[in-house]
Amino acid sequence: MNAISIRAIFDRIAPVYDQMNDWLSLGQHRIWKQMTVKWSSAQPGDTCIDLCCGSGDLALQLARQVGQTGRVYGVDFAPAQLAIAQERAQRQYPHPPITWVEADVLDLPFADNYFDAATMGYGLRNVTDIPRSLKELHRVLKPGAKAAILDFHRPSSPHLRTFQQWYLQNIVVSAAQQLGLTEEYAYINPSLDRFPTGAEQVKFAHQAGFAAATHYPIVNGMMGVLVITKS
């Protein structure tokens, strides 16, 4: 699937994105996002970036972490997602320290060595060139900065894989069907089959120039967070 097709999917699902994330994660995605922000090591006053920010969950959590003395950039290539993110931020903050940027994570409009920390939620699996996206992330991070990347994975256990496939097809896709979004959510199963394992992601991170990379499986390997550090 090319970038234009993926962008179109995320624009179409924007109005129900948060609702469907609850279905996908059995209501646990907010806890996983809190873990992701913690692993990014973002500190008060930092300048941070949330890649593939979607409706803004991680960017908003980063904003709380960095405070009014910090700055967060929420980046997504789907304008409908960014519009919802901006509306949510304005409801939650009088003056949110967040700048919303429509851009492709493969070609970020930021200078080298700019950010103190980074997050990405459910984005790496959907980019068209994972090694290039990691190299671009490496470029914009300051030396010593960390990034934490959260995403769904195929578990190694055959039984859990079978359960995950059944759940996605019979619960998530069925729910999406009621909203007229069957095709948009049917892509998740094949995207998981194509997505590199945690060990493969660590290898890609090292190849992109990161000095340290660790993949933490969670929820019995059905989720994972890749934590990477620039030297």
- Cα(56)–Cα(72) distance, integer angstroms: 11
What does the pLDDT read at residue 222?
87
- Cα(27)–Cα(24) distance, integer angstroms: 8
Class of domain 3-230: alpha beta
Which two structure tokens, joined as six digits, stand for 160? 């859990």
Domain boundaries in the chain? 3-230
Q: Which of 86, 77, 101 is nearest to 6 (CA)?
A: 77
**Hey, how many other C-beta atoms are within 10 angstroms of the C-beta on 132?**
15
Which two structure tokens, joined as six digits, stand for 125? 């699996």
Q: Can you list the alpha helix ranges (DSSP code H) found in the chain?
A: 3-13, 17-25, 29-39, 57-66, 79-92, 130-140, 158-167, 173-178, 182-186, 188-194, 198-207
- Cα(154)–Cα(140) distance, integer angstroms: 29
- When the pLDDT of each residue in the chain is averaged and rounded to a whole number, the result is 88
Q: How far is Cα of residue 130 from the mean position of the Cα atoms in its chain?
A: 13
In a 3-state reduction of DSSP, which class is residue 141? Answer: strand
Burial class (CB in 10 A: 0-12, 13-18, 19+), 5: exposed
- Cα(19)–Cα(22) distance, integer angstroms: 5
Asked if the model's pLDDT at residue 108 lies above 70, the reply is: yes
- The pLDDT of 88-94, averaged and rounded, is 85
Q: Which of 156, 125, 130, 149 is nearest to 219 (CA)?
A: 156
Q: Which residues contact 190 (CB under 8 A, 6 or more apart)?
A: none
- The pLDDT of 93-115, averaged and rounded, is 94
In a 3-state reduction of DSSP, which class is residue 215? Answer: strand
pLDDT digit string (tens) for 42-54?
999 999 999 999 8
pLDDT digit string (tens) for 110-145?
999 999 999 999 899 989 999 999 999 999 999 999
Longest dimension (CA), the chain: 48
> What would the DSSP string read from start to end of 40-77?
TT--TT-EEEEET-TTSHHHHHHHHHH-TTSEEEEEES
What does the pLDDT read at residue 93?
82
